[in-house]
Structure 1
Amino acid sequence: MTDYDILREEILELFAPLASAASAERSRQAGSRLADAERQLRAGKLTVLVCGECKRGKSRLVNALLEDPGLCPVDTYYATNLVSVISYGPDERIDVTLDTGARSLITREEIARYAGENGNPHNTAGARLLTVVTPNPRLSSGLLLADTPGVGGVYQAHTATTMEFLPQADVVVFVVDATQPMTESELRFLRRVAGMLDSADGGDDGLLCVLTKTDVVADLTEILANTREKLNELTPGVGQSIPLVAVSSRAKLQYLTDRDPEDLELSNFPALETALWSMLARRRCTALLGAALTALDEGLTAVLEPLDTERAVLVDTPGVGSVNAQAQQERLAALSSSDAAWRLELEAEFARLSERLHRQARDGLDEVWQRFDAEYLHDDAFLYDPDSLVGQLESDAALTVGAVREQAVHRAAEIQRDFEARNGLELRRREFAVAAELPVPPVRILGAVGGDTAASTDRLPQIVESALSGAGVGAALGGPVPGVGTVALGLIGLVVGAWSGYLTVQQQSVSDDRRTRRQDLRTALGSVRRSQEERVDTALTELLQELSRTVLRELGSRLGEERERIRTTLERTAAAAAATAEESTVRREAIDRKREPLLRVRERVEALTAQVRALYEKAGG
């Protein structure tokens, strides 16, 4: 087991005794929140998205990474329009989804019939999505790996799917080919991704560039230098920080057969795995372990505070009983009378957020279409290849929408945290190192109280399936926010669906004049732009409304937990004040017996927090 696996298991062991104590102390809200946090840690997955243009060695790289040589078919030609989503399960199960929506269980031997161009030329089988659940130990800690058929290639709809999902991936592995310099389309893709990462919190830690096929290159130094130079030019401050690792997947697969150390050294996979697992380790510390430890600490405070207050009264600590009772009464009254006010306050904040994000989305789409007019229409590669042009427009728009969607979710979490701080809901939280330095992610904060958040963590198959069906990737929104999966922010099919109008115009035109072609394109795609803007505007409104409702539910739960704690404290304070000396002694001993195991849990939480911080720092954080 890895250090992460050990820490995860030790943290999970603390939930049962604390949940039992919460139940015994009638702290229902605290128990519900602990159950949510435990499910989140047990089911928590981190997603690695492997992408790049066609014929770059992505599938062979995935096989080598998972040390499973025959998993993903490796063809001489590009793969079909098929995304392979691979995750852990105790028993292997493989199914394929077709364009018709039908799903079929298949064997490993049948994968090539759907996923490879040789077995499924031109995707005549209508394959859309391959889902593989396999007992591979490299996936056992919650890693979900998505192998994509190729951005910027033949399947433009999938390019847009990849781009829209990018902001939600924990790590993006972009694969380039050592046998040829990076193409302009590859640089264009990376430029968009680097720009997105530059504007995201901690975004420069989410992209890894892998140079494959190094075993067939005579002079690797030159191609490495050329690739690094192009990466450095992408975006100032971001391109320079993108790790670049050169590998030979063939050598790694050969090593798995002969166990020759020279093959492993030639493959350079140890360097790749160090870079990738370090990125994932940092994300695991913040998104999974840190969130769970914070939830445990909050649960401990909710259960211990009423016991501590009652004990102080029983031992007749001077002034504590009356001061605490008065403060708690005032606090309860303030919380009970402010329902309408805080709801109006939150609605106003979300209205301001809505205005800002709508403006950002419109500005982002304006940039896409300005680029279309100023750059793409003057590039013969697009001007004389309409399909590539449409695919590029879809990709740019999808990335813009995905980034805005992620900002909406993150900003909703910030609104909630700010509200808690302003209204004293954070007063019960102790200074907690892992929470302060390793922020709790929105996925925990926005989880529905008592809801089945675990089911939403494994959402990539639904995202891809929805996107490739032409309905957009609305399911991508269903991760941290229950119910938002119905919001269709996807743009796939929107441009393509309107493309037939341009094809008709083009077929009627016999002129090769570039100016005429440009005008034809502007005319045909003008209505597409308007329709696109309207759809995004409507979908963003729906998303923000659902986020607002989710935050209101979460804050309502927190306020309910606070009221519950205060009432329990007041009841026990009153009972303690009225108790006889003999009753006080008996009750104090009972409280001490309850506090003892809880204090041990707290000590363990603090020790594990220090270990998580150390793991984060060890991983380069």
Structure 2
Amino acid sequence: MNDLEHLRDDSIALIDQVTAALGDELPAASATMLAGCRDRLRHARYHLVVCGEFRQGKSSLLNALVERPGLFPVDIDVTTSVVTVLQWAERDTATVHFAEDPDDPEASRPPLPVDLADLPAYVTEQGNPGNEKRVSLLVLGAPLEQLTPGLVLVDTPGIGSVNPAHTAATRAFLPRADALIFVSSVLEPVTTAELDFLAGALAQCPTVLVTITQADKVVEPEPVVEAARNRIAEVAGRPPGELTVLPVSALRKFDALEDGDPELLDGSGFPALERHLWGALAGTVGGLRIDGELETVTALLDGAAAPVAIELAGLVEDSFGELDAELKASRTAAEKLRGAGQRWRRTARDDLDRAARPVRDQLSSDFDRIVDEFRRSLDSDDALTDPAAVVRQVSDQIVDAGSRAATDLRRAVDEVAERHATQLEIELTLPTVDPDGPALSGAPDGTAPPAGDFTPPHRAKQTSFAAFRTSWAGGMAYGGAGTLIGAAAGSFVPVVGTIVGGILGGVIGQLTGWFAGRREARLQAERQRRQDQVGALRSHVLPMLDSARRRAERQLTYQVKDYADALLLALDNQLDAQAEAYAMTERRLVEARSRGVHERKLRIAQLEERLGVYAGLQERVDATRSRARRLTHRSPDGPAN
């Protein structure tokens, strides 16, 4: 078990302790938020994209990484032609997803469960030449220990593929991948195409690991590794020391597992690869996710402690009148907001629609530009000498337009979400206790009993905007509404839609549908006269562009709706938590006011003890958050700084 797994499990156990310790003091809406934190940690997914050129050993590396020989087809004459996702499941499963037929979208095939033995017929160039079966994705499930921490492997077809949809799919994954393993071979120097791809990957993906496969084929792989590291550093403009380039041998790993040879296993390079991978994931997305969820726990602890603290303040200071007035004002404001629910919900949706308009306009403008540039390219020499390059450029531009729209939309929606959450938040200022203030009538020594440190240490508010922010952001990023967004991707399956977003998911699915089985996409200039070549390009690409535009705009509309639904749900939860907290505080004050002097003294002691429990829980949360932050400040293969 790696450090990230330990931290995740400890965080989940801590949330369970908080839930049990708070009991009835935790409002139902806050309990739901706390359960959401737990679920997101338990079901967190880390998407590892594996890519490289054809026949560089990607499938062998994947099989060795999960220690399952033959799971991914491996043969000297076999090349993968379909994006494949591998995730944990209780039993072996395989589901083939098909792209829609652009000529007849209604006739598209539903997902097809298949046996693992039948996979080559769908996912290899040999079994499915030119992707004539219109396969868009293969989703594998397997009960593999290596996947239990939430690792999801995304195996992409070779970069530089003759099918533009393959390269487009790989490029779309990059900025949304948690980590990327690039596969090159010790038998061949790093090519120009590989270097160009890696330069872009390093700029977009938080973690890029380069593996030099088939290390067993040479006596000493280090010179090859260093040469690759230096060439990549030169192209990417990075110091060589910042790049992780590792030699690996799938053959040695399987031999080591069979013979039980730990020294040979270490020599295979895979233990080092796994340490770097999980260290990098912990230092980027993993530690930050856990810290974000525990920030929500802190806010919920503060919110649950507030009614206890307010009751204690009333008893110590005998300030029930002041507290009643404060509480009444806050409850009135909250009830007014809840009563105006239809109005603010409509306003929130309208604001989201307005925020999406510039994104929609920019998307349309981007497609206009792509069409204009394509028309101009028809008069260039490339249309005759390298028509495939023209098509690849168009598909890449489509992916860039979709990626930009997805990023801009998310940024705009986050601004709307924060604005509305702040507007719906009602502050309830907590009083502080003056130990030298008025004596509690009847106190034996004429002084007020010690109040203790009962003010929530992180914020003096009854509500939890931090909880809203984290649950909203977490839901959209790796759960919750993310599933809805993926599902809205039409013919492209939810698994990929969730990873790359609805807009890109729909665009990639559209490209897959256009290129699948279309041999005419591989236009050969030497077989046609120029006018036929240009005409074929025009008749093929312009309808694709038109269809891709409609799909992207439709997915943007779906995504805005999903964002709106998720936002309104999060805002409702915030209002519910406020209302429950106010009701709980009011009940406490009513009961406290009715207590006699002796009962008040006993109650004060109970409340101080209770707040001590809260303080102890918060100390543990703070300590666990410190561990998460230390993970983000260490080298992937070394101790925390």
Letter in 2 for 1:44: A
Change (3 A) 1:188 1:459: farther
Within 5 Å, which residues of 2 pair with 1:143-222?
A: 143-190=151-198, 192-194=200-202, 197=204, 203=205, 205-216=206-217
Q: Which amino acid aligns with 2:36?
A: D
After superposition, the Cα gap between the structure-2 partners of 1:373 and 1:260, relative to the gap in structure 1 and judged at 3 Å, is farther
Question: Relative to 1, partners in 2 of residues 1:81 and 1:516: Cα closer, same or farther, differing over 3 Å?
Answer: closer
Q: Using the alignment, how far apart are the partners of 1:505 and 1:125 within structure 2? A: 17
Shift of 1:459: 10
Matched, 1:579 2:606: no
Give the stretch that moved more between structures: 336-345 or 19-28.
336-345
Q: How far apart in 1 are the matches of 2:271 and 2:114?
A: 35
Specify which of 106, 110, 113 is matched with residue 104 of structure 1. 113
**Quick one: distance in 2 between partners of 1:441 and 1:312?**
27
Out of 389-398 and 57-66, give the one that drifted further. Answer: 389-398
Alpha-carbon shift at residue 60 of structure 1 (Å) = 0.9
Distance 1:275-1:352 versus aligned 2 partners, 3 A rule: farther
1: CA distance, partners of 2:71 / 2:522:
45
Higher mean alpha-carbon deviation, 606-615 vs 488-497, is at 488-497
d(CA) in 1 for partners of 2:379, 2:212: 31
Q: Aligned pair 1:564/2:580, yes or no?
A: yes
- Counterparts in 2 of 1:507 and 1:136: CA distance versus 1, 3 Å: closer
Alignment partner, residue 149 of structure 2: 141
1 CA distance for matches of 2:470 and 2:583?
Answer: 30
Return closer, same or farther for 1:252/1:430 CA change in 2, 3 Å cut-off: farther
- Once the 2 structures are TM-superposed, how far is the Cα of residue 487 of structure 1 from its aligned partner? 10
Trace 1:112-151 onto structure 2 (pairs within 5 A): 115=123, 129-151=137-159
Count of equivalent residues: 591
Q: Output the CA distance in 2 between the equivalents of 1:501 and 1:119.
A: 16
Distance in structure 1 (CA, Å) of the matches to 2:467 and 2:283: 13
Alpha-carbon distance between aligned partners in 2 of 1:62 and 1:488, rounded to the nearest angstrom: 24
- Single out whichever of 582-591 and 120-129 deviates more from structure 2: 120-129
Q: Output one character per residue of 1:408-463: Cα deviation in whole Å (capped at 9) or x when no partner.
A: 3355335434554576579999659xxxxxx99988425679xxx86888999x88
SS of the residue 1:180 aligns to: coil
Is the CA contact (8 Å cut-off) linking 1:394 and 1:495 kept in structure 2?
no
Residue equivalent to 2:93: 94
One-letter amino acid of the counterpart of residue 395, structure 2: E
| Partners of 1:409 and 1:442 within 8 A in 2 | no
| Contact 2:399 2:504 (C-alpha < 8 Å) held by counterparts | no
Offset, 1:510:
7.0
Correspondences of 1:576-615 after superposition (within 5 Å): 576-588=592-604, 590-591=606-607, 594-615=610-631
TM-superposed deviation, 1:310: 0.7
Q: 1:504 and 1:113 mapped to 2: Cα distance?
A: 22
Aligned residue for 2:61? 61
The answer as to whether partners of 1:191 and 1:234 remain within 8 angstroms in 2 is: yes
Cα deviation for residue 168 of structure 1 reads 2.8
Question: Which residue identity is paired with 1:46?
Answer: Y
User: How big is each residue's C-alpha offset from its partner over 1:494-532, in whole Å with a ceiling of 9 and x where there is no partner?
Assistant: 58649999959989997544x874575356534543443
Aligned pair partner of 1:354 in 350, 353, 356: 356
Cα 1:63–1:533 shift into 2, 3 Å:
same
CA contact (8 A) 1:474 1:490 kept: no
Q: CA RMSD in A?
A: 4.6
Alignment of 1:343-422 (within 5 A): 346=348, 350-351=352-353, 353-362=355-364, 365=367, 383=384, 386=387, 389-409=390-410, 411-417=412-418, 419-420=420-421
The 1:440/1:220 distance shift into structure 2, 3 A limit, reads farther
Q: Report the equivalent of 1:200.
A: none
- The Cα shift of 1:253 comes to 3.3
Partner of residue 328, structure 1: 327
How far apart are the structure 1 equivalents of 2:529 and 2:560? 46
Instruction: Name which one, 1 or 2, has greater alpha-carbon Rg.
Output: 2
Deviations along 1:4-59, one digit per CA (max 9) or x if unpaired, are 22222222223334335655136111011112121111111111111222212111
Distance 1:79 1:50 in 2: 14
Show the counterpart of 1:47. 47
The aligned counterpart of 1:291 is: 292
Distance 2:366 2:254 in 1: 43
Q: 1:596 & 1:612 partners in 2: Cα distance?
A: 25
Structure 1 pair 30/127, CA: closer, same or farther in 2 (3 Å)? same
* Counterparts of 1:269 and 1:441, CA distance in 2: 41
Q: Distance in 1 between matches of 2:79 and 2:271?
A: 27
Q: Deviations over 1:173-203 (max 9, x none)?
A: 22233433444544454455455x1xxxxx5
Identify the residue that residue 9 of structure 2 maps to in structure 1: 9
1:529 is matched by which residue type in structure 2? L
Gaps in structure 1 of 5+ consecutive residues: 198-202, 433-438
For 1:11 and 1:488, the matched residues in 2 are separated by: 33
Structure 1 segment 409-488 matched on structure 2, within 5 A:
409=410, 411-417=412-418, 419-420=420-421, 431=458, 444-446=471-473, 471-472=491-492, 476-478=496-498
For residues 512 and 230 of structure 2, the distance between their equivalents in structure 1, rounded to whole angstroms, comes to 34
Give the structure 1 partner of residue 442 of structure 2. none
In structure 1, how many angstroms separate the alpha carbons of the residues matched to 2:310 and 2:281?
42
2:311 maps to 1:310: yes
Distance 1:120 1:540 in 2: 32
In structure 2, the CA distance between the partners of 1:2 and 1:312, relative to structure 1 (3 Å rule), is: same
Deviation at 1:354, TM superposition (A): 1.5
Q: Which residue matches 1:493?
A: 510
SS at match of 1:211: strand
Give the secondary-structure state (helix, strand or coil) at the position aligned to 2:324: helix
Conserved in 2, the CA contact under 8 Å of 1:383 and 1:518?
Answer: yes
Matched residues in 2 for 1:222 and 1:343: separation?
62
- Name the aligned partner's letter for residue 146 of structure 1: V
Deviates more, 1:249-258 or 1:212-221: 212-221
What corresponds to 2:246 in structure 1? 245
What secondary structure, in the 3-state scheme, does the structure 2 residue paired with 1:86 have? Answer: strand
TM-score, structure 1 normalization: 0.78
Residues in 1 aligned to 2:209 and 2:124: alpha-carbon distance in whole angstroms: 26
Measure the CA separation in 2 of the matches of 1:13 and 1:296.
12
Q: Distance in 2 between matches of 1:533 and 1:475?
A: 22
Preserved contact between residue 367 and residue 549 of structure 2 (Cα < 8 Å): yes
Superposition TM-score, scaled by structure 2 size: 0.76
